[in-house]
Amino acid sequence: MEHNNITTAFELPNKKIVRNIGLVKGITVRSRNVFGTIGGSLQTLFGGNITLFTELCEKTRQESYNLMVQHAEEVGANAIIAVRYDANDVMSGVTEVLCYGTAVVVE
């Protein structure tokens, strides 16, 4: 799937939605490891961007995004509209990230 056919908007410029397939999603549940937690905790002492946690969050979001795209391709979509992210703590140190959108076929 072309990544320019994936958007948070409800339509794609210069494209016509010819079929709405429905909800597609990718979910990742990730925990911090001991070393990451210690390293992140040390970074909080100095303030600013906590790069260890930033990298973990970005990796988790990218993984859930890739799973959503894979799901859309499996159901025959060539585009995804209305893409959103959601995140929840499952338990202390464990976070779920969900990426979801509407799979469509465009021309």
Q: Please state which CATH number belongs to domain 3-106.
A: 3.30.110.70
Angle between helix axes 51-74 and 34-46 (nearest 10 degrees) is 130
Ranges of residues in the chain with a pLDDT under 70 are 32-50
pTM (two decimals):
0.83
Could you tell me the residue ranges of all domains in the chain? 3-106
pLDDT for 12 equals: 97
